[in-house]
Amino acid sequence: MKYKDEFRNKHEIRKYVDRIGEKAADRSISLMEVCGTHTMAISHYGIRNMMPEYLRLISGPGCPVCVTPNSYIDHAIALAKLDDVIITTFGDMMRVPGSTSSLEHVRSNGADIKIVYSAMNAVEIAEANPLKTVVFLGVGFETTAPTIAASIKVADECKIKNYYVLSAHKVMPPAMESLVLNKKIGIDGFICPGHVSTVIGSLPYSFLAEKYNKACVISGFEPVDICASILMLVEQVTDGNPRIEIQYKRAVKPEGNPAALKMMYDVFEPCDSEWRGIGLIKESGLKIKNEYKGFDAYDAIEVETEPLKELNGCICGDVLQGLKFPYECGLFKTVCTPENPVGACMVSSEGTCAAYYRYENNWT
């Protein structure tokens, strides 16, 4: 990657960490990162342990795979079991547990499930298999949703009638609001997601500062970026001047990417959506608009799903809200490992439990 060395320079990291340490906070400060890629980077580079006593870094809902609820996985599994259906999906979804099974499991029993890199590949599969029903599992935040919207538009233009999307897309700001409203968590500021923000820009977060007095900095993903962002956040908190700032200026404009936003809202509209562990959050999801209803797998394909069941012993729901750390789960590392994951937070490579398992060995 370009400029990689500059953004990973140990001396730079040290300087920022020293600066953060010099800020004498008269109380503890809790900052939450809400993006799984940030969770991974913070764990990987050991940033949590570099921070001074007064500063607590907690992980939030993070990755779209983790927050996708059982009911959605069950729906996808039910579709996969139908004759003449091809399920297309990003690879991370394969091992996520539903109520009693996973996509990986039903594939080993003969279901036709193909892993794709891009939603456009799914459209190509539909075009090449006109007698099959091809369903793409639309999972992802605002980073991903415009690319899925684009696939629907292209399918529409090319008159591909056997392509459907099962949308579980989610948008970040309403989820951040619900985390702020949960007093048990006690967040002072957010390390705002970098790539979500390349699309939505900085404006959609401003209510967090204005209405709730939360510090907000949109951060890049390299360790120097993250340390710089933490310093900016600590300054906002200690100066009593919460606002939204962009540290990741090389990729994020205040207005985001208008072309991507237009694509997203041409095809999708907001809807209430369920997040694993958090529950239903108003206007936090994206559903396919009426105009493109023909591509909506929920409407077009009737299917019966199995009764909903939650996993015994897994505390993913609390981990996703920053209420508990992975090592507070009785199954962590003993029963639940990346090879044999029990919950979604361990399955996803960007899940909080997976990040702690791989990089943070200092839990007690």
Give the helix/strand (H/E) hosting 288. Answer: strand 279-288
CA atoms within 13 A on the CB side of 93: 29
Binding to ligand SF4 (CB under 6 A) within 94-133 occurs at none
Task: Report the SS3 class of residue 337.
Answer: coil
Residues in contact with another protein by the rule CB under 8 A: 1-3, 6-7, 9, 11-12, 15-16, 18-19, 35-37, 63-65, 90, 92, 117-121, 139-141, 143-144, 146-147, 150, 193-196, 198-199, 220, 224-225, 228, 247, 249-253, 257-260, 263, 348, 350
Q: Measured at CB, which residue is nearest to ligand SF4?
A: 343
Amino acid at 93: M
Angle between helices 223-238 and 36-44 (to 10 degrees): 100
247 touches 225 (CB < 8 A): yes
Residues 289-328 vs ligand SF4: string with x where CB under 6 A? -------------------------xxx--x------x--
Footprint on residues 321-350 left by ligand SF4 (CB under 6 A):
326, 329, 331-332, 336, 342-343, 345-346
Q: Does 58 bind ligand SF4 (CB under 6 A)?
A: no
**Residue 109 or 340: which CB sits closer to ligand SF4?**
340
Of the two residues 188 and 245, which places its CB atom closer to another protein in the complex?
A: 245
Query: By rule CB under 6 A, what count of residues binds ligand SF4?
Result: 14
Secondary structure string (H, E, C) spanning 212-254:
CCCEEEECCCCHHHHHHHHHHHHHHHHCCCCCEEECCCCCCCC
In the list ligand SF4, another protein, none, the entry touching 63 (Cβ below 5 to 8 angstroms by class) is another protein
- Asked if 229 contacts 191 with a C-beta cutoff of 8 angstroms, the reply is yes
What is the β-pairing status of strands 279-288 and 268-275?
Answer: antiparallel
Is 36 or 189 the residue whose CB approaches ligand SF4 more closely? 36
- At 258, list the tokens: 């208008």
Q: Using the 8-state DSSP alphabet, how is residue 349 labeled?
A: T
**Among ligand SF4, another protein, none, partner that 346 touches (CB below 5 to 8 angstroms by kind):** ligand SF4
Residue 143's alpha-carbon distances to 73, 93, 256, in angstroms, are 21, 17, 11
64 binds, among another protein, ligand SF4, none (CB under 5 to 8 A by kind): another protein
Residues of the shown chain interacting with ligand SF4 in the complex, contacts defined by CB under 6 A = 314-316, 319, 326, 329, 331-332, 336, 342-343, 345-346, 353
